[in-house]
């Protein structure tokens, strides 16, 4: 599956507002920010360098691997839903990352509806790119359109 890395990029005003409520995280060498299946603890902002995002199947097969760059928000879906992270984020050597705690993020979103809307834009971009990638997957069943056509043809034939 191939996702568009730009889906993780945030509006520069949002990134700057979030950075004001963040702490810098040291990433000497490669460093896991979070792993698929872990409970969310906060939001990561990639300030410089790259992070590798990956997803594996329950059997351990690699399903997705991609690089994202500066300005990306990482861990947002898990943070919003309070569900485990669905991706693993590995900061590459030389990456600079900031971290916003779950409590600070929620307080900021409740106090500034304009920023909350900008967060929704990032989430919408992630959903859109995931849906586009899903369209490239191999079908597991006949198309819904074809199934409906077959039923309507049979019904018309039965009526005659």
Q: So where are the chain's domains? A: 5-159
Q: List helix spans (H) across the chain.
A: 12-19, 76-81, 102-111, 113-134, 144-159
Burial of 47 (0-12, 13-18, 19+ CB in 10 A): middle
Q: Which pLDDT belongs to residue 64?
A: 84
Q: pLDDT tens digits for the chain (160 residues)?
A: 555 566 667 788 888 999 999 999 877 778 999 999 999 999 999 999 999 999 999 999 998 888 999 999 999 999 999 999 999 999 999 899 999 999 999 999 999 988 888 888 888 888 887 777 776 766 555 655 555 555 555 555 555 5
- Enter the CATH code of domain 5-159: 2.60.120.10
């Amino acid at each position: 599956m191939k996702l568009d890395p730009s889906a993780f990029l945030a509006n520069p005003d949002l990134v700057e507002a979030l950075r004001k409520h963040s702490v810098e995280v040291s990433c000497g060498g490669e460093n896991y920010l979070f792993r698929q299946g872990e409970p969310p603890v906060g939001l990561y902002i990639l300030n410089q360098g790259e992070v590798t995002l990956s997803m594996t199947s329950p059997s351990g097969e690699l399903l997705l691997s991609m690089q994202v760059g500066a300005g990306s928000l990482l861990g947002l879906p898990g943070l919003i839903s309070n569900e485990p992270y669905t991706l693993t984020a590995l900061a590459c050597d030389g990456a600079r990352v900031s971290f916003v705690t779950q409590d600070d993020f929620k307080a900021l979103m409740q106090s500034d509806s304009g920023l909350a809307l900008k967060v929704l834009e990032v989430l919408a971009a992630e959903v859109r790119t995931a849906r586009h990638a899903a369209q490239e997957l191999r079908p597991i069943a006949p198309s819904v359109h074809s199934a409906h056509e077959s039923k309507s043809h049979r019904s018309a034939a039965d009526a005659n």
